[in-house]
Amino acid sequence: MSLLKLEKVSLAFGHHKLMDQVEVSIEPKERLCLVGRNGTGKSSLLKVINGEIKPDDGRVITQDQLKIAKLDQDVPIDISRTVYDVVVDGLGNLAQLIADYHSVIVQSEHDTSPTLMDKMFKLQHELDAKDGWGLQQKVDAMITQLELPADKKVSELSGGWRRRVLLAKALVSEPDLLLLDEPTNHLDVEAITWLENFLLTQSVSLLFITHDRTFLQRLATRIIELDRGKITSWPGDFENYVVKKEEFLRIEAEQNALFDKRLAEEEVWIRQGIKARRTRNEGRVRRLEALRKERSDRRNVVGKVSMGIGANEKSGKLVFEAENISFAYENKPLVNNFSTRVIRGDRIGLIGPNGIGKSTLLQLLQGVIQAHEGTVKQGTKLEVAYFDQQRAQLDLEKTVIDNVVDGSDMVTVQGKSRHVISYLKDFLFDPERLRSPAKTLSGGETNRLLLAKLFTKPANVLILDEPTNDLDMETLELLESLLVEFEGTILIVSHDRTFLDNVVTSTWVFEGNGQIDEYVGGYQDYLRQANQKKSVEKTKPQIKTSQKKEGSQKEKNKLSFNEQQELKKLPAKIELLEQEIEDFQNQMMAPDFYQKPAGEQKKINAALSKTQAELDKCYERWEVLDG
């Protein structure tokens, strides 16, 4: 039996129909991806399923006691409560009781007054009576699993960490159906990969919206598309959908052409006037009226975004050169002794966790901020177009038009003058929306507006900080093609693995503590090279040992007797520590790990950290003794 079924559901905002007699069902343990252009109503469909809005017509049929949880696309910025309190909200009725008990536990670390102890006792009694201990354990396990700072205010966290908190809130109730609206937005690659692996091990049914093609390909067992008010089901993965959809559109275009030809013939007949009336063929007239109505009701495929980057003269061969630059924020190193040369035509992707320093490095190269150490040299004839992930270049109070050309009707693009309305139509903006404030736009529309503004300026260097967020897949693929054809230099910060593989030719990977490593190729190339590097490093002690035996006895003699003995023992010790780390990691990757008591999880995590720290010390000691 289906978990949930939509029967002839319709929904319209004004005269615009988002859903027209939609029918779809969701089966147990199914993972459905909902695709469609920005603004077609995907988020509204999730809200209908979740009961947040009522359809104009039709009904939503669910199994008895179906438990649904939802992760919204937008991340609130004004949550002043702690992470623990927000996650607990996902449990429903017992949320406040568990939150109060956690608060008392935290207070008891520095307050042991009789009043507080009495309150703790009462809360313990209530938890016992309502069987709340198991739920509290779920909260603790979820917070541990997502490595969340339980007692920190959510408002103090970055956008990516806030999304993690809301994800934990959605998952902690162990829902039957989980609704995810762009779950990978603002998450770094490591977090996205974790989320993929986590969801693949769950028995929960999924209905998710995403523009991340790698995420979609790994997770989806079926794709449903909301297009022109109708839902079409496409069994299989994303690659199958792309092939089948192209064939579907080809057949549809052929059928529409035949229909239009038939309608044109009937229109010629009716315009014969007297001759048509003499035939007294009233049935044919009625059929013509039906054809006219069918044609007027037809909703054509939404056009594709058309964009181009303004041409400009080439920059000098050298674009940026950094020599031993370092930068720290609040004593945290973001860039440490980094040197590089960016040459005209380079396409470089920047990868790393949120807050690790990617945007900072871009600002250092542009001269927006100055390095604490080292020097940055900029090349000649640079025309830089900068896409800011915070969208600070847009004035949300201004209209869409005024954000592109303030007070003018014309815009110059690629050396040609165009009317701004015509230009913005290329970015799929309806004329009636152009006088609306930018703050009324959706996330995808806002990104399209920023791209429209960006591409009015001639540029030979593009610096793009998270340009793919909220873009639908067709716009994303067009942007990829545009960047591949661009003859200038590109630096891109992105967590979209497919996008990086399709666009960049080299990758800067932020490893932490200000260390930045360079790799040839895109994301998959980086993974392969990084794995090869780890394999080499893992065998490094054994290799050095054999080299020592063959030709470095003289260097050994420089060490004291105790140091020589210590050096001999290090390879075996390192091998043992690496085996212990592998064992801990295997335990944590087991499907039942996060069903274990929170204390046991923390114990394993702590043991892993301790062993890793000991291994690092051994490697450092090896370098000293073997140097």
- Whether residue 343 sits in one domain with residue 282: no
- Burial class from Cβ neighbours inside 10 Å (0-12, 13-18, 19+) for residue 580 reads middle
- Do 338 and 482 fall within a single domain? yes
* Residue 232 CB partners (closer than 8 Å, separation 6+): 224, 225, 248
Query: Residue 591 belongs to what domain range?
Result: 539-626
Give the separation between CA 28 and CA 63, rounded to whole angstroms.
Answer: 11
Residue 424 and residue 514 share a domain:
yes
**Residue 599 three-state SS:** helix
Q: Confirm if 481 and 337 have CB atoms less than 8 A apart.
A: no
Say if 466 falls within a structural domain.
yes
Residue 50 burial (C-beta neighbours within 10 Å; 0-12, 13-18, 19+): middle
Q: 525 with 543, same domain?
A: no
**Rounded distance, CA 379 to CA 321, Å?**
8
User: Does 516 lie in the same domain as 591?
Assistant: no
From 530, 557, 590, the end of a domain falls on 530
Q: What is the tens place of the pLDDT at every residue in 418-471? A: 888 888 887 778 787 788 888 887 777 777 888 888 778 788 899 988 888 777
Q: For position 364, what pLDDT does the model report?
A: 94
- The residue out of 171, 197, 222 marking a domain boundary is 171
How crowded is residue 554: how many other Cβ atoms within 10 Å of its Cβ? 7
Q: What is the pLDDT of residues 3-37, one digit of tens each?
A: 999 999 999 876 668 888 889 999 998 999 998 88
Please indicate, yes or no, if residue 235 is contained in any of the structural domains. no
Task: Check: pTM over 0.95? Answer yes or no.
Answer: no
Confidence of residue 308 (pLDDT cuts 50, 70, 90): low
Q: For residues 293 and 251, state if they share a domain.
A: yes
Kindly indicate the confidence band of residue 77, based on its pLDDT and cuts at 50, 70 and 90: low
Is position 56 within any domain? no
Output the pLDDT for position 548. Answer: 46
In the chain, the largest separation of any two C-alpha atoms, in whole Å, equals 119
DSSP state of 460: S
Looking at this protein, which amino acid is placed at residue 448? R
Any domain includes 200: no
Residue 506 lies in a domain: yes
Query: In terms of domains, do 451 and 595 share one?
Result: no
Residues 599 and 577 in one domain: yes
Secondary structure E strands in 299-366 = 318-329, 332-343, 347-351
Burial class (CB in 10 A: 0-12, 13-18, 19+), 432: exposed
Domain annotation covers residue 71: no
**What residues contact 233, with CB distance under 8 A and at least 6 apart?**
24, 222, 223, 224
552 and 598 in a single domain? The answer is yes
- Of 171, 186, 207, which residue sits at a domain end? 171
Residue from 26, 33, 42 nearest 239 by CA: 33
Confidence of residue 102 (pLDDT cuts 50, 70, 90): confident
Say whether both 336 and 475 belong to one domain.
yes
**Does residue 470 form part of some domain?**
yes
Q: Is residue 515 part of a domain?
A: yes
- Cα–Cα distances (Å) from 16 to 13, 41, 316, 558, 621, in that order, read 5, 10, 51, 83, 69
Specify the CATH number for the domain of residue 546.
Answer: 1.10.287.380
* Domain identity same for 246 and 390: no
Q: Which value, in Å, is the radius of gyration of the alpha carbons in the chain?
A: 30
Number of domains in the chain: 4
Whether residues 507 and 587 fall in one domain:
no
